[in-house]
Structure 1
Amino acid sequence: MPDVMEYKCSACGGKLEFDSNTQKMKCPFCDSEFDVDSLKEYDSVLENAKEDDMAWESEAGSEWSEGEAEGMRVYKCKSCGGEIITDATTSATTCPYCDNPVVMSGNFSGVLKPDRIIPFKFDKNAAKNALNKHIEGRKLLPKVFKDQNHIDEIKGVYVPVWLFDAEADAQIIYKAEKIKRRSDNNFNYIERSYYSVRREGSVVFENVPVDGSKKMADELMESIEPFDANGAVDFQTAYLSGYLADKYDVTAEESVERANQRIKNTTEQLFASTVQGYDTFNKENGNISLKGGKAKYALYPVWLLNTTWNGNKYTFAMNGQTGKFVGDLPVDSGAAMKWFIGVSAAATGVCFILMRILGL
């Protein structure tokens, strides 16, 4: 004897039963009704649902030509272990991430050559002016910070970035709900209608960036996005003159997981934006598969500013292509308390006025 298919109510989770009067599946607990054919199609879609397939072919970077990297040197930071690439004219420098001295560790070798590079569009003065502008108008900033903070170093750094291209095919099912309310002289009524909403389509991704440096926090790098990949040019060592370049310590293969997460999040957001006309909806099932996934290796320009105040270090970053500036600032606890008290007092005053108006 074949197994009997069991259906669950979308509204309350109860077991549905066939109602011969309406010729529909009906829930004995909440009286919700469902079309039989729709339930069969819905179950068929769920049974055939696939897992995410997000595989990549990585051929990022290329080998250096003979003699091409002869004028480049590698410096290693003894504090954080970072390796910084510079030209032969740089005799000594400090680490742009932790600001400790770095020492010569040898000639440049053993890494892939970048495919593309975005040259710096903003200079050191622009980065310093951006910091001053970032400080202006901050009411909770300690008054002495602006005058007493010391900019230890402003470093122009080319951060290694893996760029991922792919076409994402997605199938996503949402559980949606429409709610109608009405009233009569005796009761208030709520009618809830449930829908299975299916979306299918493709999204083309180009140059999805993933930071290839452990020293550069992913959150900090992503906070100064976007970079305009159309402004990238074929890599030439001449662009490194006067700047530092971070030697990647996260491979393209190790960056795939973060690239997949960024692609998946964006795809789901785009698909969800097409589900309209419902009061609520939630993703119930879905899968994403990639086609033609490839990675490239690029260098992106970043200004890093380390400033010290009151024994603490604060790090700021500026997009060297667009000028976007980010960074945390200290908070004056005394000013914050005065602000809180002021807001509380204002709120209390408003409540008192309302109470007087209402005669309470």
Structure 2
Amino acid sequence: MSDLMDFKCPCCGGAIEFNSSSQNMKCPFCDSEFDIETIKSMESAENTQENIDWSTDFNEWSNEEAGGMSVYSCESCGGEVISDSTTSATQCPYCGSNIVMKGQFSGDLRPDYIIPFKIDKNAAKEALKGHLKGKRFLPKTFKDENHIDKIEGAYVPFWLFNCKADADVKYKAEDIRTWSDSDYEYTEVTTYLVNRAGSVNFERIPVDGATKMPDDLMESIEPYKFDDAVDFQTAYLAGYVSERYDVDADQSIERANVRVKESVEETFKNTVTGHDRVYVSSSVVNLEDSSVNYALYPVWLLHTTWQGQKYTFAMNGQTGKFVGDLPLDKSAYFRWFSIIGVILSTIICAGITLLH
């Protein structure tokens, strides 16, 4: 069995890819479409090639250099596809064929579920334009000089944690009363100890399983709608980049526990009402009936450059939620707050004058 598989159009031989609009495989050359089941039947077919041995006398990679790399041969053109050891789907740099490196999905590496892309590349580009609109402190030249270096649709590996959380959380609640006389201002703080206990069921808490993807960036584009998830099939990867996890489930448990604890504390806190301030004093959370699944979720990644600095933006490939940090125009920032300061000072002075 080959280590690599490409998806070719049966009609014209062009490289076909998954189309997020039709949810079918589509050829960009002849516009032919095929459903996933048809392509799945093609997956099982093996190509036979003649073995040609060449006598070579080249230097070999050292063990240290080769340790993080993998080499695959493109079955369409014979070109060598070199990637790091976590890459599982890509394009041949020579003929452009969409290929799936099947060796990365054998055994326990095979995902349980995948959420197919629902939004295409053009929508991601438009989302970036929308993200830049209305930003008061964004440098004016950023829109004009900033350009997209690379845009790619990536299936990001996620561990999905399921559990029941039994929790006992204590909160410190405060009621604050202030008053003043001609000489002093007074503040009275009344403190209460509030206890909340109960159980919360969690389903499919996502934890990013790829070190290449910043956790805060991936969590910012949540949530995903699991109703669109389907059983994993390699055909969905055609035309997109896919990464194999390099943070395993055991290594992701700590982050899952933090997310469960924070969610429980926030959920219970919302029931402590009628107070000015509420803090977590202590919490004990125990988990049971826990399980974990492996899934691939769709993400559009946009990489841009402005004044020599790199910026990365991410968009949820299912819902369209868009996030990314932007540069700050410091002069505009300080100018704005100087104006606000002058206005506030004027109002305060006017108030004092009226009081006297």
Q: TM-score range by the shorter chain?
A: 0.5 to 0.7
Which residue matches 1:84? 87
Equivalent residue letter for 2:92: T
- The reply to whether residue 158 of structure 1 matches residue 166 of structure 2 is no
Which residue matches 1:217? 214
The answer to whether the 8 A contact 1:73-1:86 is kept is no
Which residue matches 1:54? none
User: 1:73 deviation in Å?
Assistant: 8.1
Q: Secondary structure at the match of 1:215?
A: coil
User: 1:227 deviation in Å?
Assistant: 0.8
Which residue matches 1:328? 325
Which residue matches 1:256? 253
Q: 1:139 to 1:177 in 2, by over 3 A?
A: closer
Equivalent residue letter for 1:90: C
TM-score after normalising by structure 1: 0.66
Equivalent residue letter for 2:260: I
Distance 2:342 2:133 in 1: 27
Residue deviations 1:282-322, cap 9 Å, x none?
A: 54444222111000000010000001111111110000011
Distance 2:139 2:146 in 1: 10
- The reply to whether residue 319 of structure 1 matches residue 321 of structure 2 is no
Equivalent residue letter for 2:290: G
The answer to whether the 8 A contact 1:73-1:108 is kept is no
- The reply to whether residue 296 of structure 1 matches residue 299 of structure 2 is no
User: 1:141 deviation in Å?
Assistant: 1.6
Equivalent residue letter for 1:85: S
Residue deviations 1:249-294, cap 9 Å, x none?
A: 1001100000011001111222222334566665444422211100
Q: CA RMSD in A?
A: 3.6
Q: 1:270 to 1:290 in 2, by over 3 A?
A: same
Residue deviations 1:30-68, cap 9 Å, x none?
A: xxxxxxxxxxxxxxxxxxxxxxxxxxxxxxxxxxxxx76
The answer to whether the 8 A contact 2:88-2:102 is kept is no
Residue deviations 1:195-216, cap 9 Å, x none?
A: 6644332101001000001010
Q: 1:218 to 1:358 in 2, by over 3 A?
A: same
1:100-111 counterparts in 2 under 5 A?
108-109=103-104
Shifted more, 113-122 versus 137-146: the winner is 137-146
Equivalent residue letter for 2:120: D
Shifted more, 218-227 versus 336-345: the winner is 336-345
- The reply to whether residue 167 of structure 1 matches residue 164 of structure 2 is yes
Distance 1:291 1:120 in 2: 33
Equivalent residue letter for 1:210: V
Which residue matches 1:58? none
User: 1:339 deviation in Å?
Assistant: 1.9
Which residue matches 1:346? 343
Q: 1:220 to 1:283 in 2, by over 3 A?
A: closer
User: 1:70 deviation in Å?
Assistant: 7.8
Unaligned runs of 5+ in 1: 1-66, 94-103, 182-189
Equivalent residue letter for 2:115: I
Residue deviations 1:332-353, cap 9 Å, x none?
A: 2332233233222322332343
Larger Rg: 1
User: 1:242 deviation in Å?
Assistant: 0.6
Q: Secondary structure at the match of 1:334?
A: helix
Unaligned runs of 5+ in 2: 1-42, 48-69, 73-80, 179-186
The answer to whether the 8 A contact 2:71-2:82 is kept is no
Which residue matches 1:120? 117
Q: 1:309 to 1:207 in 2, by over 3 A?
A: same
The answer to whether the 8 A contact 2:121-2:153 is kept is yes
Which residue matches 2:23? none
Distance 2:249 2:221 in 1: 21
Identity of aligned residues (%): 50
Residue deviations 1:151-208, cap 9 Å, x none?
A: 0011000000000011111223446677999xxxxxxxx9998766443321010010
Q: Secondary structure at the match of 1:153?
A: strand
Distance 1:335 1:143 in 2: 10
The answer to whether the 8 A contact 1:115-1:297 is kept is yes
Distance 2:294 2:327 in 1: 36
TM-score after normalising by structure 2: 0.67
Q: Secondary structure at the match of 1:108?
A: helix
- The reply to whether residue 201 of structure 1 matches residue 198 of structure 2 is yes
Q: 1:131 to 1:281 in 2, by over 3 A?
A: closer
Which residue matches 1:270? 267
1:19-30 counterparts in 2 under 5 A?
none
